[in-house]
Structure 1
Amino acid sequence: MDITDNGPEPKAFDIEAATKENENYRVVAWTGKYLQVTLMSIPVGESIGLEAHPETDQFLRLDAGRGRVKMGPEKDRLTFQEDVADGWSIQVPAGTWHDVENTGDEPLRLYTVYAPVHHAPGKVQKTADDAERDEEAGADEPPSWAVEPEAGQPDEHA
Structure 2
Amino acid sequence: MNIEDIGPRPQAFDLEAETLKNPNYRTVAWSGAYLQVTLMSIPVGGDIGLEKHPETDQFIRLDGGRGRAQMGPSKDELTFDQEVSDGWCVLVPAGSWHNVTNIGDKPMQVYTVYAPQHHKPGNVQTTKAIADADTDDEPADWSVQPDPAKDQHA
The reply to whether TM is greater than 0.5 is yes
Name stretches of at least 5 consecutive residues in structure 1 with no aligned partner. Answer: none
Kept in 2: contact 1:55–1:153 (CA 8 A): no
Shift of 1:93: 0.7
Give distance in 2, aligned partners of 1:61 and 1:19. 10
Give distance in 2, aligned partners of 1:41 and 1:152. 25
- How many residues are matched? 154
Q: Which residue of 1 aligns with 2:153?
A: 157
Q: Alpha carbons of 1:106 and 1:153: their partners in 2 closer, same or farther (altered >3 Å)?
A: same
Give distance in 2, aligned partners of 1:54 and 1:48. 17
Q: Which residue of 1 aligns with 2:3?
A: 3
Give distance in 1, aligned partners of 2:81 and 2:6. 36
Q: Which residue of 2 aligns with 1:12?
A: 12
Shift of 1:154: 3.0
Shift of 1:44: 0.2
Kept in 2: contact 1:54–1:153 (CA 8 A): no
What is the 5 A alignment of 1:59-138? 59-134=59-134, 137=135
What is the 5 A alignment of 1:29-44? 29-44=29-44
Identity %: 63
What is the 5 A alignment of 1:135-154? 137=135, 139-149=136-146, 151=147, 153-154=149-150
Shift of 1:2: 2.1
Shift of 1:5: 0.1
Q: Residue 73 of structure 2 aligns to which amino acid in structure 1?
A: P
Q: Alpha carbons of 1:152 and 1:63: their partners in 2 closer, same or farther (altered >3 Å)?
A: closer
Q: How well do the aligned residues superpose, as a CA RMSD in angstroms?
A: 0.9
Give distance in 2, aligned partners of 1:157 and 1:115. 18
Give distance in 2, aligned partners of 1:32 and 1:3. 15
Shift of 1:34: 0.3
Q: Which residue of 1 aligns with 2:21?
A: 21
Shift of 1:49: 1.0
Give distance in 2, aligned partners of 1:154 and 1:25. 24
Find the residue that maps to 2:13 and give its secondary structure: coil
TM-score by length of 1: 0.95
Shift of 1:157: 1.3
Shift of 1:82: 0.2
